[in-house]
Structure 1
Amino acid sequence: MSLLHSLEHFAIDRNPNPVVALKVHSAGQQEEVPFHRHRKGQLILTLHGGVTCLAPTAYWMIPVNCAAWIPAGVAHSNRVTPSGDVLFLYIEPDVQGMPQACCTLQISPMLREMLKHFADLPQDYLSDSPVARFAQVMLHELTLMPVEQLSLPISEHPRIKQLADSLMANPADRCPLAVWASRLAMSPRSFERFVLKETGMTFGRWRRQLQVLVAIRLLVTGMSVQNTAWELGYDSVTAFITMFKKTLGTTPGQYLNND
């Protein structure tokens, strides 16, 4: 059954329990869930492969040691890599302690196993059942998880979306700021101010953040560090590793080993 078909036949918002879960497997090809929203908040945990999530204010890449949090009512879209395994956790909006804004959460090994176990339990559990008590402990652990910097800030301005889509589609494009300004019919100075205003980052830092997210997506699907560097337009693997470590504080190899 496809990812989209699984979601369409899961009665997410009709289940009154504080938290319900669904594990899904994408088919052999990449699958994308169009923009949608839920009455409940949604946690998106990658079990295998990678997930890219898009909301009005950011792109996220969700590697296997993290999860994306989407608060209740926020429109979002998910893209799952080929043969990816994903766990969706749906949480009632009145559950205390969850972040108020979209973010990426680090998931501890213990909590990861708790989430996987919970998804295998009956989701129509009673409020005084052992499953309900397990769910409360699991939710408490979830509220303690730290936020990871694995998002790319964007805005609803069409030029920012155009810029992000262009670089996501061709991350090896290393044209200087002046060229990108020309493509958007702006002066270099106006372009620089525009990107900073819409994203909170300079263009150089924003593009490095995007490249790190693309790199993680490629690495978690099995691409080598060397080939990932080439895909991002780097002439040397060392330069790519330096950029990755400067952004995330760890090398690509160390990052993958932490998964």
Structure 2
Amino acid sequence: MAKGDTILPHRHRRDQLVYASEGVMTVVTQSGAFIVPPERAVWMPGGTEHRIEAKGDLSMRTLYIEPDAVRGLPQEVCVLQMSPLMRQLILEAVEAPQVYAVDGPEERLMRVILDKIVALPTAPLNLPIPSDRRLRKITEGLMLDPADRRNLADWASEAGASERTLARLFLAETKMSFRAWRQQLRLMRALEMLAADVQVTTVALDLGYESLSAFTAMFRRAFGVPPTRYFDDARSSRAEI
């Protein structure tokens, strides 16, 4: 997929594992948005309506899995961390014929993949979307302008609820505080912008950070590396396979 391409909302009967081998995609469902950087995958249970947006040139591989194929598969949409072994298994699986012999090498490969999926750790790369109309005024405003620095007290009159009520609703509907939700939004938007080759300084300022160092510190806390190295590390990981 090329930068800016979108796969319109759709759903599949079977569970789906979509692996981003290169580029960044955003997967949007009714429950929220999920950012999928390189070397991650998004898991979607069967029947989940979703759309996929390419934030840069995107290469992905997809596996379709029967919901009852193995016990322990994720029951909700989530982003999964890929191990080097899992990446190689997926690349081999997509080359296998769609129909293969039971107890043959392809079937054994698929069984290994199923066991590995169950054990994969999740990555906190989702942004829950609240249903309460008062919260939606806030979250939709921030998605349009992530640099908006207003706090909940500032939003209260516009949203039509007290600061205390809004804080309680954020925790109840997103399992996150307002500040944590806004930071998660900025992190996800940062990955999208970096994938589109936007300069790091521009990303920092556009997202409302007072300095490049403040943005870099936040990014490093979340991902373990500075923004200038994030995609370089993903490319290095692929080269080691």
* Corresponding residue for residue 129 of structure 1: 104
Q: Distance in 2 between matches of 1:115 and 1:123?
A: 14
Please report the RMSD computed on the Cα atoms of aligned residues, expressed in angstroms.
2.1
Bigger mean CA offset, 156-165 vs 102-111: 156-165
Q: Write out per-residue CA displacement over residues 21-51 of structure 1, whole angstroms, 9 at most, x where no aligned residue.
A: xxxxx13x41222332221111121122111
Alignment coverage as a number of residue pairs: 233
Shift of 1:211: 0.8
**Alignment match of 2:199 (pick from 224, 230, 252):** 224
Asked whether the equivalents of residues 40 and 81 of structure 2 are also in contact (C-alpha less than 8 Å), the reply is yes
Partner of 2:65: 91
Are residues 1:30 and 2:4 paired?
Answer: yes
Partner of 1:195: 170
18, 40, 43: which one pairs with 1:66? 40
Unaligned runs of 5+ in 1: 1-25
TM-score normalised to structure 2 length? 0.86
> Does the CA-based 8 Å contact 1:50-1:220 persist in structure 2?
yes
SS across alignment from 2:210: coil
TM-score by length of 1: 0.81
User: Unaligned stretches of 5+ in structure 2?
Assistant: 235-241
Q: Does 1:182 align with 2:157?
A: yes
Q: Tell me the secondary structure at the aligned position of residue 135 of structure 1.
A: helix
Whether the 8 Å contact between 2:134 and 2:160 is mirrored in structure 1 is no
Query: 1:5-154 counterparts in 2 under 5 A?
Result: 26-27=1-2, 29-96=3-70, 97-154=72-129
Residues 101 and 255 (structure 1), Cα distance of their counterparts in 2 relative to 1, 3 Å cut? same
Aligned equivalents of 2:66 and 2:45: distance in 1?
A: 10
Taking the aligned partners of 2:222 and 2:113, their CA distance within structure 1 comes to 31
Aligned partners of 1:67 and 1:161: how far apart in 2? 28
Distance between the aligned counterparts of 2:58 and 2:134, measured in 1?
31
Contact 1:154–1:160 under 8 Å retained in 2: no
Q: What do the CA deviations read for 1:41-80 (whole angstroms, capped 9, x no partner)? A: 1112112211111222221100012111111222222212
Percent of aligned pairs sharing the same letter:
35
Q: Return the letter of the residue paired with 1:86.
A: M
- Report if the CA contact (8 A) 2:22-2:39 is conserved: no
Q: Does 1:245 align with 2:220?
A: yes
